[in-house]
Structure 1
Amino acid sequence: MSCANQGDAAKFLKSFLEEFPNPLGTEDQLPVSPLSRKVSLQEVKGESLDLGLRLLSDRNAPSWLGAAMCNAAVTELLKDDLSPHYCPKDPEQQPEDEQGVVLLQSEPLQRLFINKLREVCVAWQKQLPSPGSSSSLTHSCSVHAIRNTRRKMEDRHMILKEFNQLLGLKDGVDREYYAVFDGHGGVDAATYAATHLHIILSQQEALKSHAATAFKSSFTLTDDMFKIKAKRERLRSGSTGVAVLLTPDRLTVSWLGDSQTMLVRQGEPVTLMDPHKPEREDEKKRIEDLGGCIAFMGCWRVNGTYAVSRAIGDFDQKPYVSNEADSSSVQLNGDEDYVLLACDGFFDVVRPGDVPGLVLEALREGRGSGDDVAQSLVAQAKAAGSSDNITVLLVFLKEPQQLLTHETSSRTGEGGATAAATVI
């Protein structure tokens, strides 16, 4: 660990303990609201890590330190006897298929988790553990999301550059995780997927040998978990999703529905996926073989309802709306420029072939800075007529300035070649 990182860590640990000099008491208000009032044992890890990351990010914790602290705290939390936080069971109100589901009260559980974070701070002030070998992945990214003209913002996204540190993976393979979830009928399904998909992915044995398979299983398991919550809380929302896992030499993509991702290599778009839409011929056949139909009502809809053919949630239309994700994987050779993830609010009005030019235009306007590229792309989609929520997440696989320099030199080279031809 560099002296600068060590100094940043020591400074943050000190400030955190100044804010929380004593453990939270049973009546103390939580500094960050939990996502849910009640959680199952399966949901404890995801909900706790979400709260911890928000708490530490709001206080400007170094991202690597925040991930490590959350992992250490949730590991200790899950060792504890959590039965004092169980919700009392009411068999008369609990459906038969949920009789065995143990629910916990979120507020006291998260007080305990924050106290675990505080204990980690106390211990690490005395001796900061080594973070292990530093990651070879140092990708910068640009993200922007707007509600647009819709009444509610139902998109969610996740950026986890410290995937291994947060989830305790120590197999020596550096990983980054990025995802965009496009909710409909409410934000619950998108929020649930953003909270739990990466947790479930990290627990799949296949992750280390075949990430694409692990991704597909993780989407299905996330949907299965959300189904229990949706039934318990009478939720009717759904969400499409697209997620990518980056390692030093491979990009793995998985998607459910019409949110999309694309790769750009040497200025040219590379197709990674075919989004699931009701009008896609194989999707139409799958739905009809199940006894359903698709109907055009302003856009193609499954059984005249949802405009997506695969999603997390939408249980009133399962299995016509499938929870089976697709995945693909591509070897990285160093020629890649960036990977872009976005919801249909972007891709419905912007063609993938136009993206490289729009990104270069944004880089020129930003004088080589990639910070505002996603904001520029969102503005382009809105100007092109999108009224939907729009989320764009762009992960640079090369430095933004390098992309601009390469583009400028290419144009100069082309101009030189033209001039030489003219002379001849």
Structure 2
Amino acid sequence: MAAAVIDEEAARNLLAAVLHDLSGPEGQPRPQNRRVSRDEAEGELSEAVLRLLGGRSGPPWLSASLVRAAVHQTLQADLETFVEKKDEVEGAESDVQTEEVLLFDALLQRCLTCLQEVGSKWQIQLPLAPTTKRSLYVSIHAIRNTRRKMEDRHVSLLEFNELFGFTDGVERSYFAVFDGHGGIDAANYAATHVHVTVARHEALSSDPARALKEAFQRTDAMFLKRARRERLRSGTTGVCALLEGERLHVAWLGDSQALLVRQGNPVTLMEPHKPEREDERERIESLGGCVTFMGCWRVNGTLAVSRAIGDIDQKPYVSGEGDVSSHTLGGTDDFLVLACDGFYDAVSSSEVPSLVLGHLQENGGDGQRVAERLVAAAKEAGSSDNITVLVVFLRDPAKVLEDYLAHGSGEGEPLFDFGGGGAEVPSDHAG
């Protein structure tokens, strides 16, 4: 009972703070004269309002619900008043002129008005808090390292259902790491739109693996339109994980990777898309491209990955079609690690369990800063690239460590060795 009272007080404090800030000029985002398509509107508005609410104390589910309600109310209205007139577009290419775009600043101002309206109503009557059975513990760390720019982006959505209004009783969480190249635009775009495309996919409830896989291709197609409109040339690899009930679905493009650790052993979930893979080389060459060695294997002598969102100058050789694998989770799954190649090129999968469990032992089972430990290990191993690591504990990290120390492995041997790693355990690829 006390917990419910405290949560209600925190919720009302959050609403009061948001409404106070929105009432003054400091709470309004600065105009950027941006244009978005209708397909991009939900993602762009959600991202903008999430950033506005980010960092505030209060229930995360309430922030996600506020975003959903405000964006939904905005997009239900007639958007014709936000459409940019074709004669207002200066110097646009002919194929761009045919695409209808919305003036984002005006649309966002309307969304913020809706946010105020929703917040005022909820101050009178709060929505019901969601009930969840799964407890997830997330640790994230990212560094620019020695690179001139930081081109990685990551997404962690524990409140996926609240953000998109799902009330079907199936618990969902979404996590992603995107590693941009040639600029940050593609990575920003993917971090804004892939999860929205997943949520709005017609097959999410019946076939979530398909929804996750096809979200990459749809996002790639959307970004290519943006790239033509704004003359962008960047690209991004990506790896996404959707926890849906007792199932884990992992989709990827390029060489960002996901690793599951089960009973202290690394479980391979995927095979990166690299030009030297025989099937990737054959696909590229059948399209008229080539794979050459220039320090490493590269597509047409440029990119070291064979699939990515964006890279408009390298389409169709660099494909925007992702792959997906699905896995059933049980009580023996410990944690999931999503990271870019800046991490996995320097730290092997077999080293990850020892690094994580060593950190837990040194910190009394506290996994809050374990991602920092992994990033530091990659840097110490010689990585000079951007490094992003996202760790999702599927069980309480303190309980994970307790079980390891108490039981060891199923064969009666130590479950982990701080001097090395466990053996690889193959996974069941589903697509």
- Structure 1 counterpart of 2:167: 170
Q: Work out whether 1:153 is the aligned partner of 2:154.
A: no
> Of the candidates 277, 284, 298, which is equivalent to residue 280 of structure 1?
277
Match of 1:45 in 2: 42
Q: CA distance change for structure 1 residues 81 and 321 in 2, over 3 Å: closer, same or farther?
A: same
1:80 match:
77
Q: Which ranges of structure 1 fall in alignment gaps of 5 or more residues? A: 23-27, 416-424
Q: 1:191 aligns with which of 183, 188, 192?
A: 188
Distance 1:388 1:254 in 2: 23
CA contact (8 A) 1:137 1:176 kept: no
SS in 1 for 2:316: coil
Q: Are 2:139 and 2:368, in contact at CA under 8 Å, matched by a contact in 1?
A: yes
Q: Which deviates more from structure 2 when the two are superposed, residues 323-332 or residues 291-300? A: 291-300
What secondary structure, in the 3-state scheme, does the structure 2 residue paired with 1:169 have?
Answer: coil
Q: 1:180 aligns with which of 151, 155, 177?
A: 177
Shift of 1:211: 1.2
Are the equivalent residues in 2 in contact too, given 1:264–1:270 (CA < 8 A)? yes
- Partner of residue 15 from structure 2, selected from 13, 30, 40: 13
Tell me the distance in 2 between the aligned counterparts of 1:52 and 1:329.
Answer: 32
Is residue 96–residue 228 contact of structure 2 (8 Å, CA) maintained in 1? no
Whether contact under 8 Å (2:50, 2:63) holds in the other structure is yes
Q: Please name the residue that 1:25 is paired with.
A: none
Partner of 1:357: 354
Structure 1 counterpart of 2:239, which letter? V
Q: 2:268 aligns with which of 268, 271, 275?
A: 271
The aligned residue for residue 418 of structure 2 is none
2:383 pairs, out of 381, 386, 390, with 386
Distance in 2, Cα, partners of 1:116 & 1:278: 48
**Which residue of 2 is the match for residue 422 of structure 1?**
none
101-110 vs 297-306, which moves further: 101-110
TM superposition outliers: structure 1 runs of 4+ over 6 Å:
none
What fraction of aligned residue pairs are identical, expressed as a percent? Answer: 53
Q: Which amino acid aligns with 2:48?
A: L
Q: Any residues of structure 2 matched to 1:98-247 within 5 Å, and which?
A: 98-131=96-129, 133-247=130-244
Q: Of 250, 253, 276, which aligns to 1:253? A: 250
Given the two structures, how large is their TM-score scaled by the length of structure 1? Answer: 0.92
Please, which moves more after superposition, 133-142 or 313-322? Answer: 133-142
The Cα offsets for residues 17-60 of structure 1, whole Å up to 9 and x where unpaired, read as 233347xxxxx576345787111111111011101111111333
Provide, for residues 150-182 of structure 1, a one-character-per-residue CA deviation record: whole Å limited to 9, x for no partner.
000000000000101101122221100000000
Distance 1:128 1:295 in 2: 60
CA RMSD of aligned residues (A): 1.9
Provide closer, same or farther for how the CA distance between residues 341 and 209 of structure 1 changes in structure 2, counting only shifts above 3 A: same
SS at 2:338's partner residue? strand
**Normalising by structure 2, what TM-score?**
0.91
Quick one: which amino acid aligns to residue 4 of structure 1? I
How far residue 112 of structure 1 moved from its aligned partner, in angstroms, is: 1.4
| 1:320 corresponds to | 317
* CA–CA distance in structure 2, aligned partners of residues 349 and 168 of structure 1: 40
Match in the other structure for 1:418 = none
Matched, 1:2 2:10: no
Structure 2 portions without partners, runs of 5+: 415-431
